[in-house]
Amino acid sequence: MSIYEGNYPVSRLRRTRMSPVLRSMVRETELAVNDFIYPLFAVPGTKVKKEISSMPGVYQMSVDEIVRECVDVHGMGIPAVIFFGIPPQKDAVGSEAYDEHGIVQTALRAVKKEVPELYLITDVCMCEYTSHGHCGIVKGDEIVNDASVELLTKEALTHAQAGADMVAPSDMFDGRVGAIRRVLDANGFTNLPIMSYAAKYASGFYGPFREAAESTPQFGDRRSHQMDPANSDEALREVAQDIREGADIVMVKPALSYLDIIRRVKDEFHMPTAAYNVSGEYSLIKAAAAKGWVDGERVMMEVLTSIKRAGADMILTYFAKEAAAILKKR
């Protein structure tokens, strides 16, 4: 007889659920504040703190406000942030992305100075910096791979030089992790880790982010480089390739419609695994909670727990501060 075969009434599964104490003792997954990475959107100017209309509670902030926010985030025990930058000018080759005085580079230097203990990650991509909103260089209707990768290596290097503790390429071009690794190593950053957006899907759940990062493609879409939501084996090939190229942490993105992918990646590779609880996943909960249709806090904690249960070691989430506050109260 298998132990999974029912043996009622000798066996009663409800017994371990009867008291809060016992429920907490048998709990398999426990969220912790140090699971969270908090995304921040840097914009030019001073004293700018502009709420993103589709993401209540999330702001575009100038560097001075970002510094203030980072002091706060660090004080709450959240270990890490990830920076996105919205430059004053965009052009066809995203020049501001790899400018040593670019918006993210400036934010890095300012935050490193004020909050040296906070772990600073940068999103490495061109889409916020190009006039056409694509993640790299465009020729005709093709988003070019190799020439774009070269620009991404320049972007990653300027981030490292400005004080980034880790870089996170989010473009999904082929060969970019290896190329970034080589450039970092050649410039003395052998110990700087890469978190690759390894299995990143072409997802409708990025909608609100594109308002936040002002990165909506002006034509076409991202389906020639981001993955088809219907595929799962392909995600393993993507992750395997990034690990071979030197990725230290692999990410699955989005999280909720891809919990199965998180689990497969964790089981297959046993690597430090991150999941990105993306903008649309945040906004859906915020909108339903505002209408009183769901209990926002409860659903938030349930969702974050499910991502960790699926196998994520860390979660990039706009909920980080709210969830940290709840965990602290418990």
Footprint of ligand PBG (CB under 6 A): 123, 125, 127, 170, 206, 209, 222, 278-279
HSE of 75, CA atoms in CB hemisphere, 13 A:
7
Least separation in angstroms between residue 38's CB and ligand PBG is 12
Q: Which residue is it, tokens 């209540």?
A: 56
Burial class (CB in 10 A: 0-12, 13-18, 19+), 88: exposed
CB nearer to ligand PBG: pick between 150 and 214: 214
Residue 60's alpha-carbon distances to 12, 41, 255, 261, 272, in angstroms, are 52, 5, 23, 31, 29
Instruction: Examine the residue annotation and report whether 47 is marked as an active-site residue of this protein.
Output: no
Burial class (CB in 10 A: 0-12, 13-18, 19+), 48: middle
CB nearer to ligand PBG: pick between 85 and 178: 85
CB nearer to ligand PBG: pick between 118 and 212: 212
Least separation in angstroms between residue 127's CB and ligand PBG is 5
Q: Is the peptide bond before 193 cis (omega within 30 degrees of 0)?
A: no
Instruction: Examine the residue annotation and report whether 253 is marked as an active-site residue of this protein.
Output: yes
Tokens standing for residue 319: 């909920």
Rounded Cα distance, 35 and 194, in Å: 17
CB nearer to ligand PBG: pick between 106 and 317: 317
- Of 253, 286, 308, 321, the active-site residue reads 253
CB nearer to ligand PBG: pick between 189 and 197: 197
Least separation in angstroms between residue 330's CB and ligand PBG is 26
CB nearer to ligand PBG: pick between 133 and 311: 133
Q: Which residue is it, tokens 């070269």?
A: 150
Least separation in angstroms between residue 96's CB and ligand PBG is 14
Distance from CA of residue 268 to its chain's centroid?
21
Least separation in angstroms between residue 298's CB and ligand PBG is 22
Enumerate the β-bridge partners of residue 169.
Answer: 124
Nearest residue to 274 (alpha-carbon basis) of 56, 28, 27, 34: 34
Q: Which residue is it, tokens 């580079």?
A: 105
Least separation in angstroms between residue 159's CB and ligand PBG is 13
- Of 200, 266, 286, 308, the active-site residue reads 200
Apex 283 CA angle, 97 and 82, nearest 5: 30
Rounded Cα distance, 172 and 153, in Å: 13
Closest residue to ligand PBG: CB criterion: 209
Cβ(202)–Cβ(228) under 8 Å? yes
Q: Which residues are catalytic?
A: 200, 253
